[in-house]
Chain A
Amino acid sequence: MTKSELITYLAEENPHLYQRDVERIVTTVFDEIASALSQGDRVELRGFGAFSVKHRGSRVGRNPRTGEAVQVGAKRVPYFKTGKQLREKLNG
């Protein structure tokens, strides 16, 4: 399922809403999550999961083609941990 398929589904479920409003709603939700993470905040959606930011220290990596050692700088990466309810649903 893609974002646009999700929008189409929600628009069908909510015939009183304009498709463009549904689109804005979906975009807003993911934008809010992204902007919270970019401020270092955590987003916790009980039953679904939690988005957080993890620190990765700098390390010496290797160019896989040449085998040359390269310094990889420290960075922060988004992380998602599946919520308990969703995990159970997957294995239900």
Chain B
Amino acid sequence: MARQTITRSQLSEAVYQEVGLSRNESAELLESILSKISETLANEESVKISSFGSFSVRRKGQRIGRNPKTGEEVPILPRKVLVFRPSQVLKARISDATIDIPDLDEND
């Protein structure tokens, strides 16, 4: 099974096919969606997309980390991380559909 990486261009192409705006405008709309979500999260407000999932921001406290190469202790400063929780619908869709796909590579 040929696996591929989908990017902005395929998503905005899908918007173009679906709604019939110009390609340019489709790309701009996609960008507006992503930046509105980003801004909302930057304000620590969570974003819930029904039947897809929710994005929320979690605050992490300071802790002591270690440089794995030198063994040296370094403080990891308090920071905020983004958490994505897939909806049940998305989880079910992916688990059912991909269970037989043999080797997905898992590059993150």
Q: Is B23 an interface residue (CB 8 A)?
A: no
- Nearest neighbor of B14 in chain A, beta-carbon distance: A32
Q: Using CB atoms and an 8 Å cutoff, list the residues of chain B in contact with chain A.
A: 1, 3-8, 10-11, 14-15, 18-19, 21, 26, 29-30, 32-34, 36-38, 40-42, 45-53, 55, 57, 79-82, 84, 86, 90-91, 93-99, 101, 104, 106-108
Across the A-B interface, the 5 shortest Cβ-Cβ residue pairs: A80-B84, A38-B97, A78-B86, A82-B82, A43-B6
Docked-complex contact A1 and B7, CB < 8 angstroms: no
Chain A residues within 8 Å of B, Cβ to Cβ: 1-3, 6, 9-10, 13-14, 17, 21-22, 24-26, 28-30, 32-34, 36-50, 52-55, 74-82, 86-87, 89-92
Closest residue of A by beta carbon distance from B8:
A45
Residue of B nearest to A36 (CB): B6
Query: 29 A-B Cβ contacts within 8 A?
Result: A1-B37, A1-B40, A1-B46, A1-B48, A3-B52, A21-B19, A24-B18, A25-B15, A25-B26, A25-B29, A25-B30, A28-B18, A30-B49, A39-B3, A41-B4, A43-B6, A45-B11, A47-B34, A48-B34, A52-B107, A53-B94, A53-B98, A53-B104, A74-B99, A76-B99, A78-B91, A82-B81, A86-B82, A89-B38
